[in-house]
Amino acid sequence: MKLFIDTGSTAEVEEIAAWGVLSGATTNPSLLAKEEGDPGDIIRRICELVDGPTSAEVVSDDARGMVQEGRALARLHEHIVVKTPFSKDGLAACNELSEDGIRVNMTLVFSANQALLAAEAGATYISCFMGRLDDISVDSEAVVAEIVSALRPSGTQSQVLAASLRHPGHVIQAAQLGCEVATAPAKVLKAMLDHPLTTAGIERFKADWETRPEFAEWLRGLVEQQAVTAS
């Protein structure tokens, strides 16, 4: 499963892209509105940092407006994926944009029926919001499982994208259910780093090294020697 970051912050993307774990990004008008600067510049910078699919969302609620905005967004950068909301107009816009060769992320999908329609309309990504389902006491894991199982037998090329991930457990569930992509905010990606045994192990290794400082000095010398050789 590929990991995307869900943000409008170039600083967050730059920090986590340095880990080498990101394959793409998702944004939306609400996330971009929190940031200073031109939205187009922010989106282009995120595209460059993740060097992969980056969703940018339309704001119109009619098909014609979505198509016009989608085409304009797609011209910002080659990595742009146009995000459209699920609706009759969203499906029509998705179909027209996909026929133009523009990738579409159909968002706000909450059922297998909706996912099947999005796939037929040509969506590249179908986003199911796990956290929002949990908020209304609907089993998000069951819904995502139903979406994946409904799409796979048809051989569709649409990828299931787990979104609105509130904690690392959601990421694990998405992977286990067979989602091709999970998009998570920076705080969730950072939380995935943590485990008490990892922290304790690092502290123990550090304590062991500090009892024999000559080992650290030897390693620094090795690095310097190889740097001289390479130059």
pLDDT at 50: 98
Q: Beta strands 54-57 and 80-85: pairing type?
A: parallel
Taking the chain (231 residues) in consecutive chunks of 10 residues, what is each chunk's mean pLDDT? 98 97 96 94 97 98 98 98 98 98 98 98 98 97 97 90 98 98 98 93 85 82 85 76
For residue 127 the two structure tokens come to 């986003």
Which residues, in sequence order, are CB contacts of 69 under 8 Å at separation 6+?
58, 59, 60, 82
End-to-end CA distance of the chain: 40
pLDDT at 61: 95
Catalytic residues: 83
DSSP string, 157-221: --EEEEE---SHHHHHHHHHHT-SEEEE-HHHHHHTT--HHHHHHHHHHHHHHHH-HHHHHHHHH
Question: Given the structure tokens 């190889």, which residue do they identify?
Answer: 226
pLDDT at 212: 79
In this structure, the dihedral spanned by the alpha carbons of residues 38, 43, 47 and 50, taken in order and rounded to 10 degrees, is 100
pLDDT at 210: 82
**Whole-structure pTM value:** 0.92
pLDDT at 224: 86
